[in-house]
Structure 1
Amino acid sequence: MTGPDVCQSDPGSWLLDRIDAREHSLTCQIEQTQAEIDTLTARLGELSEAIEHLRISRKILISLAEEGPVPAEPVAPPPALPDHPAYQQILTVFGEADGSLRARDLALAMDLPLMQNNIQNVRAKLKRLASRGILVETEPGLFTQPRP
C-alpha cells in the first residue's frame, strides 16, 4: 500500500501527523523569533544607555559652560634668593650633587679653604636658604633640595 491507499485506510492519523509536523515547525519558528527578539532587546538596551550617556555629557558641558572659567588658585611666588653670588654657587653645587650635603662638604665643593670661619659662613647661608624654603634641613647640619 502506498500514498492514496494509506490515506484511505486511516485518514485521521494522517491528519494528526500533518498537524504535529505543522505544530513542530511553528514551535521552531517561535523559538527563532524569540531569540531574535532577545538579541534586538539587548541591542536596544545598549543603544539607550549610550544615548543617555550622551545626554548627561551634554548637560554637564552646558552647565560648565554657563559657570564660566574657574578662577585659578594663586600660585605662591618662588622663594627669593639672596643677592650674594655665594647663594647661587651653593645652589649650583646642590644641583650637581646626588644627595644631601653638610656645610664642610659644600665648602670643599666651592673650593673654600677648610677653615672654621668659612664652614660657619657656609652653614649660616645654608640655614638662611632653609628658612626661606629653598633648601631643607633633613637632620641637624644635613641639607638637601626639596622634592616637588
Structure 2
Amino acid sequence: MTSSSDTAKPLLERIDAREQAVTDQAELVRAQIEELTARLGELDEHLEHLRITRKTVLALADDPDTGQARGSSPVPELPEHPAYQQIMTVLADEDRPLRARDLCLALDLPLLPKHTEGIRSKLKRLVSRGILTGIEPGLFTQPRP
C-alpha cells in the first residue's frame, strides 16, 4: 500500500521544478527591463541632443548674423525640455549655489547615479550656454548681474 505522501511526492517535485523555471524566467525579464530602461534613457538623451541641434541649425539658417548689434551679448535660450525649466525654478527658489545631488532631492528624484549624472549633464549644458555659472566643480548657480 502506498501512502499519500508517496503519491504526492512526484507532483510536488514537478511543482518545485516549475516554480524554479518561472523564477528563472522572471529574473531574466527583470534583467531585460533594466537593460531596456537604460537604453531608453540613452535614446531620450540622444533625441534631446538632436532637437537642440535642429533648433540651432534653424536659428542659424533664419538669421546668419544672429540679429545682434556688435558688442551686445546674446540672450541665452533655455532648452525646451521641461527638466531645464524645473532646474531653473529650483535654483531661483533656493537662491544659493546647488549641486546635482541637491537638485535631485529638490525635484524628488531618487538619489541614483543615473539621475544625479543626468542632472549634472543638464547643469553643465546650462553653463555652456551661459544660463548658469559653475562656481567650483560641481557647484552651480544663476549668474548675478
Q: So what's the TM-score if we normalise by structure 2?
A: 0.50
- What is the distance in 2 between the residues matched to 1:126 and 1:142? 9
CA–CA distance in structure 2, aligned partners of residues 81 and 90 of structure 1: 11
Query: In the aligned structure 1, how far is the partner of 2:130 from the partner of 2:70?
Result: 20
Pairing 1:121–2:85 present: no
Counterpart for residue 101 of structure 2: 104
1:1-148 pair list within 5 angstroms: 75-148=72-145
Q: Aligned partners of 2:71, 2:128: CA distance in 1, in Å?
A: 22
Distance 2:107 2:97 in 1: 15
Whole-angstrom CA distance in 2 between matches of 1:118 and 1:133: 23
Secondary structure of 2:135 counterpart: strand
Name stretches of at least 5 consecutive residues in structure 2 with no aligned partner.
1-68
Aligned length: 77
Deviations 1:75-120 (A, max 9, x none): 4331011110000000000010131000000010011111110000
SS of the counterpart of 1:104? Answer: helix
CA RMSD in angstroms comes to 1.5
SS across alignment from 1:134: coil
How high is the TM-score relative to the length of structure 1? 0.49
Give the number of the structure whose alpha-carbon radius of gyration is greater: 1
